[in-house]
Amino acid sequence: MTRYLLGRITAAVITVFAVTIAVAMLIHIVPGDPVRIMFAQSQGTTPEQLEAIRSRLGLDLPIWEQYLLYMSRILQGDFGYTIRGNQPVLELLLARLPNTLYLASASLLIAMAIGLTLGFIAAYRRGTWIDTALMVTAIMGVSVPHFWLGLLLLFLFSVSLGWLPVGGHGLGSLILPAVTLGLTNAAIIARLTRSSMIDVLNQDFIRTARAKGLPKAIVLFRHALRAGLIPIVTMLGLQFTYLMGGAIVVENVFGWNGVGRMAIQAIFQRDYPLIQGFILMFAVLVVTVSLVIDLLYALLDPRIRYS
Query: Minimal distance in Å, beta carbon 169 to another protein?
Result: 6
Of 35-43, 69-77, 100-108, 206-214, the segment contacting another protein by CB under 8 A is 35-43
Q: Does 96 bind another protein (CB under 8 A)?
A: yes
Nearer to another protein, 120 or 272 (CB): 272
Query: Minimal distance in Å, beta carbon 97 to another protein?
Result: 12
Side-chain-facing half-sphere of 1: CA atoms under 13 Å: 11
- Which of 3, 44, 129, 143 touches another protein (CB under 8 A)? 44
Distance CA 217, CA 194 (A): 17
Spatial contact of 188 and 239, defined as CB atoms under 8 Å apart = yes
Query: Minimal distance in Å, beta carbon 267 to another protein?
Result: 8
Q: Does 47 bind another protein (CB under 8 A)?
A: no
Angle between helices 225-254 and 272-300 (to 10 degrees): 160
162-181 footprint of another protein as x/- string (CB under 8 A): xxxxxxxxxxxx-x------
Q: Does 146 bind another protein (CB under 8 A)?
A: no
Q: Which of 279, 287, 305, 296 is nearest to 93 (CA)?
A: 279
Q: Which of 116, 141, 127, 113 is nearest to 194 (CA)?
A: 116
Q: Does 158 bind another protein (CB under 8 A)?
A: yes
Q: Does 85 bind another protein (CB under 8 A)?
A: yes
Nearer to another protein, 251 or 294 (CB): 251
Grouping H, G, I as helix, E, B as strand and the rest as coil, residue 4 is helix
Residues, the chain: 307
- Residues in region 229-258 near another protein by CB under 8 A: 252-255, 257
**CA torsion angle 83 86 89 95 (round to 10):** -130
Query: Minimal distance in Å, beta carbon 107 to another protein?
Result: 17
Size of the site for another protein (CB under 8 A): 46
Can you give the C-alpha Rg of the chain in angstroms? 24
What does the DSSP assignment read for 41-91? T-SS--HHHHHHHHHHTTTTS-HHHHHHHHHHHHHTT---B-TTT--BHHH
Query: Minimal distance in Å, beta carbon 192 to another protein?
Result: 31
Q: Which residues of this chain interact with another protein, rule CB under 8 A? A: 31-32, 36-37, 40-44, 84-87, 92, 95-96, 151, 154-155, 158-159, 161-173, 175, 252-255, 257, 261-262, 265, 268-270
